[in-house]
Structure 1
Amino acid sequence: MAAMLAGSGVSPAFAQGNPFQPLIYINDSAITRYEVDQRIRFMQLLRAPEADRAAAEQALIDDRLRVFAARQLGITASDEQIDAGLAEFAGRANMGVEDFIQALGSAGVERQAFRDFVAAGVVWREVVRQRVMPQVRISDAEVDQELQRVIETPRVTHIALSELIIPAPPGQEEQAMDLAESLVQNVRSEADFAAAARRYSATPSAPQGGRLPWTPLANLPPSLQPIVLSMKPGQISQPLSVQGAVVLFYLRDTRGTLRPGAKEQVLDYVRFRLASIADAQRIAAVSNSCEELFIHARGLPPQQIQRQTLSQGQIPTTEALRLAVLDDNEAVVSGQDGAAEILMLCKRQSALIAGGAQPAPVATAAAGGEDAAMPDPDALPDREEVRNQVFNRKINMAAENYLAELRANAVIRRP
């Protein structure tokens, strides 16, 4: 962001007519031509993916709706809160507020436009905290599901990248960044990327469309690894500024392995022995959970009904085969020599989850004569960390849904 501000490469937003002419009315407020022009400049300066008039108008409409929702709840932003928001935003560019505002001003963005943008975000945070967060609940099952997704996702060990390196000599950084951003917007396939690499890339790989051989992930610079891991095959990276160049990557494919123990399962199940097939079938038909089986077993000797939690390898083969086809809280009845047995699966779980997801162990390795802490790549994330991730994801979704509801119920018109 600091480089963008330093470049101040903003194309002008040409205003026509009275700059304070209302262009859009939202409920009881109006958006003027001046505000739209200011937001376009601001979005262009921050190199937003979409920075045209339509995107600017929609962003301002959403900000008005955020402020409207806050006002309905009696929420206002104090000067101290807004100042803190300004400092937080400027800090993302490693700049102080005044330096940031001065850089904005040199690109034609007024202080008030920046302040209004931040103020809308400040009150919206409080709206989300008061109205959205209390409605969001995370169950243990959702945490288990997310952990299961982590377990079943192979850890990337090798990557197939294509590179495109655009020279950016002194004085031409802005043009190189503009070209890179244009490519990000227009590249839709590996063939598109290869054609661009042959045309623009200043590397030995350019004649091959920028294709690099399969490479161990660990061989990449540490600063590049999280960028690659955040991509999916078929995606192009955002422009990366390095000294004298702007770099783009295209991820062609990945290879990986499952963490040790990822395929092992632990089964929680009930074995209920009865005197007749008819009784077993009747009880199985009306029991929707393992707990309900125990209701029907009241007064019976404890040895007739047993609940066990075992790994697959510890379960007798005959029982393991019957349990293999069952879903949670599903039962099967079998009989032999006049007796009957209900076998109900209570829960099928990854052995790694059943053992308890622990914080990633830290290994110690010597690096340059000093000890360096390295997280164990095979460890599962901490359960509370996963819970927070799911919670934040659901809050974001709920907040977007609430904003969409506000948009649908608003009176939005143009003069």
Structure 2
Amino acid sequence: MMNPRAVFRMVSLASAMVLGLAAVAPAGPFSAIKVVNDRTVTQFEYDQRLLFMQLLRQPGDLNKLAMQTLIDDRLQLSAGDQFGIKLTPEQLRAGMEEFAGRANLDAEKFIEAIGGAGVQPETFRDFVEAGLVWREVIRGKYAAAITIPDAAVDRTMASFTPLTSMMLRLSVIEIPAVGAGREAAMKLAQHLRLQLRAGEDFAALARANSKAASAGRGGAMDWVKLSDLPKDAGLAVRKLQAGGISDVVVLDDKVQIFRVEEIKQETLTPKTQVVDYAELLVPDDAASIANVRSNVDTCNDLYSMAKGLPADRLTRKTVPVSQLPKSVAGALSLLDAGESSTAMTRGGYRVFLMLCRRGPAENELPSRDEVRLQLTNQKLGTLAQIYLEELRSEAIIRTP
């Protein structure tokens, strides 16, 4: 019979060997390297996220950012579970298409491009999924309580200065629509729009139906600045990604359908293009001037002050800066949007001069709805950061 002490030594030695091997064996790619509450981050996920961020040319310390974003993903997905948010396959696919569209690619081509560099489709999908879930969490938690006043929209539009101009390469199907043929042209355009939505080739339909000079080229146009398009055409294409088909654009003498082929941004040389200003003639006494000052925050408020007065007491003009009357050019140059001056008199009245806006021409301005959405998203972004910090502070994050 073997000595019990010898058995004990053999068992101890075997245990030590096993433990020693476990200690030096390298971690597998799917081993957990971080645990966020009850969700894990694997070495494979970290390596993939790091590679993905490198391909996107993200700035900063990518080794640190890759882990931080993966931790945030776990917190955001947990919040989504808490609020019962489940994405449909259609929502996820749309999110992937939206992200890929920033590179002027569809999701399939984007996945193919990053796949060539070693990033798996699941990495892209998981990245988009966490972002979409978080967006729904924030909207559900905060959006209903956010109100953007009209005055805030006015101030934003008054100070808006584009740093770039959107350039588009478009293709067009153009059908004359005048007189008795207008109704038929509208019906044809709507029919063509349905065909395009069903996957018909734009160039072929343009050659067969368009009356524009570009018809022989399949509707292909030269590069055009968004702001140079007619207003209705600009509104129809400004939100489209490359490959997008516009709704039917109805003009006075024709109807058009556009396809966006390419999009690029052209850097603008900062310069003042137009000045929008107002002049209200008020009695030349301190009480009248003080009354206007206390009741006017934007140029639109002047209309209420002028109610019931002769029409010539309030004037509002938008002119190129080079065409400003010398009598007001100097005073306006000292004002920011929403500021006023009462330094001038005219015909026995004090001139309440107010700068409404200084900047690009009107067709380069965003719409009020776009500005309101931008301001809402800014508030949501701030609230999202605060909420994420709360989740981080409450989470149990450990390294196994």
Aligning the two structures, in what range does the TM-score lie when normalised by the shorter sequence? 0.3 to 0.5
With CA pairs under 8 Å and 6+ residues apart, which has the higher RCO, 1 or 2? Answer: 2
Please report the TM-score for the alignment, with normalisation by the length of structure 2: 0.47
